[in-house]
Amino acid sequence: MQTAMPTMPANPSPRSNWSGNYRYHATEFFAPRTIDELQQMVAAATHCKALGSRHSFQGIADTPGAQISLEHLREMHLDPDARQVTVEAGVTYGELAPWLHQRGFALHNLASLPHISVAGACATATHGSGLRNGNLATAVSAIEIVTADGQLRHFSRHNNADFPGSVVALGALGIVVRLTLEVQPTYEIAQTVYENLPFAALESHLVEIFSAAYSVSLFTDWQQPRGTQLWLKRKVGALAMPTPAPTFHGATLAASDRHPLPEHDPIHCTQQGNAPGPWHERLPHFRMDFTPSSGAELQSEYFVPLEDAYRAIRAIEPLSVRIAPLLFVSEFRTIAADDLWMSPCYRRPCFAIHFTWKPDWPAVQKLLPAIETALAPFGALPHWGKLFTMQPEQFLPHYPRLKDFRELTRHCDPAGKFRNGVLDRYLFAST
């Protein structure tokens, strides 16, 4: 496909990510209205990269060439007999989830906030929580990507050996335009919050605590050895929901709704108080029509094997006096193992240690190496879309299918059209 780049109105103003901490370096900006138009743009470009909902905190979506917004690709199609939904790459979970629910279906999980795009979340192995729940990318059964020559390439779990390398692909294979997700009958969730769970309870009961509900999140401010809030999201069955116990492993039932950041109004959060509601109105922490989390913030996240979770927490604790002044809140979650080559949960159930930082990158940047050193004995892996300072040689050896992924990337993008500073540094560091 050798057609010229279509003329589209470019946006010459500075463009940044959602939190405002990263400014993109792209020299051109395009917003195609159709997949055909996008194919022409990709074929004509020297360098290009997709832009989704802008929720990454570093340059993984940046490019020295043309940034191609997917905002107009918003079609959704449900196949109720196959229990699958196919979405275009501009669709967010906040759009997809209620649309699915109205038709009697649901996804297996959602992230903390529904504002992120389906394509971007899957590309970076973003996750919700749940001891038996895989990250969001594990729902994908097929994916369609525009590769460097402008052609559409289709990967399916059922007939492509390379499929596990195509989903968590970090934008390295091309621009995702469609994803097919497995769905299930809709369900309800009831959310209960407890406060002040001692870290000591995790030493012998961590798996028990994190399997106490369909989705579980434990927050801490690292000021004391305890979780400030424990959010339990239970599936509602045919029987009436039991009244929550007043205590849970040393934590006490919250008297009213809570926000993970104590100074923030809980109206921003999904309903608590054990009140049943649709899955998409309980699994996220934040409502679609309110500002998620803090807004002006930075984020880092590290994945360790589930069996090392308690030791990893204790390894970080000596740094708490340095962490607390820079922190809004920290969150612990569990994620089931998967078979996706570049997922941090590849063949290992994981424990995620998340940090939502105040927007002071110089100070956070000085602190992250100490946290990463503390987590190094556990083979910690960073979240691909968040902030970290680990060197490639520190974590790439923990991806056993990295060589296969590099070969797949070269096949789809032989001239490096979709590569950028992040991919060059981390995916191709030793090639």
CATH number, domain of 315, equals 3.30.70.2520
CA 125 to chain centre: 5
**How confident is the model over 154-183, as a mean pLDDT?**
97
- One domain, residues 81 and 193: no
Percent of the chain with pLDDT over 90: 82
CA-based torsion, 12, 118, 170, 372: positive or negative: positive
Residues 257-310 have pLDDT tens digits of 999 988 888 888 999 999 999 999 999 998 876 555 556 889 999 999 999 999
- One domain, residues 169 and 212: no
**How confident is the model over 344-361, as a mean pLDDT?**
97
- One domain, residues 237 and 295: yes
Residue-number span of the structural domain to which 243 is assigned: 188-391
Lowest mean pLDDT segment, chosen from 164-178, 276-290, 327-341: 276-290
The per-residue pLDDT for 375 is: 98
The per-residue pLDDT for 239 is: 60
In a domain, 5, yes or no: no
Q: Which position has the token pair 């030793």?
A: 430
Single out the residue in 121, 156, 185 at which a domain terminates. 185
pLDDT-based confidence at residue 2 (cuts at 50, 70, 90)? very low
The per-residue pLDDT for 216 is: 97
The per-residue pLDDT for 238 is: 59
- One domain, residues 181 and 209: no
The size of the chain, in residues, is 431
DSSP 269: B
Distance CA 64, CA 47 (A): 7
Number of domains in the chain: 2
- One domain, residues 208 and 330: yes
Q: Residue 64: which residues within 8 A CB-CB, separation 6 or more?
A: 25, 26, 27, 47, 420
Check pLDDT > 90 for residue 388: yes
| Residue 130, domain CATH | 3.30.465.10
In a domain, 168, yes or no: yes
In a domain, 16, yes or no: no
CA-based torsion, 306, 423, 16, 149: positive or negative: negative
pLDDT-based confidence at residue 346 (cuts at 50, 70, 90)? very high
The per-residue pLDDT for 403 is: 96
Q: Measured between alpha carbons, how far apart are the two ends of the chain, in Å?
A: 30
The per-residue pLDDT for 240 is: 60
Instruction: Give the residue, 10 or 397, on which the prediction is more confident.
Output: 397
- One domain, residues 131 and 239: no
The per-residue pLDDT for 59 is: 85
Distance CA 182, CA 107 (A): 7
Check pLDDT > 50 for residue 132: yes
In a domain, 49, yes or no: no
In a domain, 15, yes or no: no
Lowest mean pLDDT segment, chosen from 115-124, 179-188, 250-259, 280-289: 280-289
Q: Mean pLDDT across the chain, nearest whole number?
A: 92
pTM score, whole prediction = 0.93
Percent of the chain with pLDDT over 70: 94
Instruction: Give the residue, 429 or 78, on which the prediction is more confident.
Output: 78
- One domain, residues 243 and 379: yes
In sequence order, the β-bridge partners of residue 229 are 195, 219
The per-residue pLDDT for 24 is: 87
The per-residue pLDDT for 9 is: 33
Residues 46-60 have pLDDT tens digits of 999 998 888 888 888
Single out the residue in 167, 185, 203 at which a domain terminates. 185
In a domain, 40, yes or no: no
C-beta of residue 70 within 8 angstroms of C-beta of residue 174: no
- One domain, residues 141 and 284: no
**How confident is the model over 14-23, as a mean pLDDT?**
78
- One domain, residues 302 and 192: yes
Single out the residue in 142, 164, 185 at which a domain terminates. 185
The per-residue pLDDT for 8 is: 34
In a domain, 116, yes or no: yes
**How confident is the model over 365-371, as a mean pLDDT?**
98
Lowest mean pLDDT segment, chosen from 32-46, 216-230, 254-268, 396-410: 254-268
- One domain, residues 299 and 386: yes
The per-residue pLDDT for 407 is: 97
Distance CA 40, CA 59 (A): 24
C-beta of residue 328 within 8 angstroms of C-beta of residue 259: no
Distance CA 257, CA 234 (A): 16
CA 89 to chain centre: 15
- One domain, residues 173 and 216: no
Lowest mean pLDDT segment, chosen from 203-217, 240-254, 318-332: 240-254
C-beta of residue 364 within 8 angstroms of C-beta of residue 370: no
Of 16-20, 115-119, 139-143, 234-238, the range with the highest mean pLDDT is 139-143
In a domain, 429, yes or no: no
- One domain, residues 125 and 259: no
The per-residue pLDDT for 17 is: 82
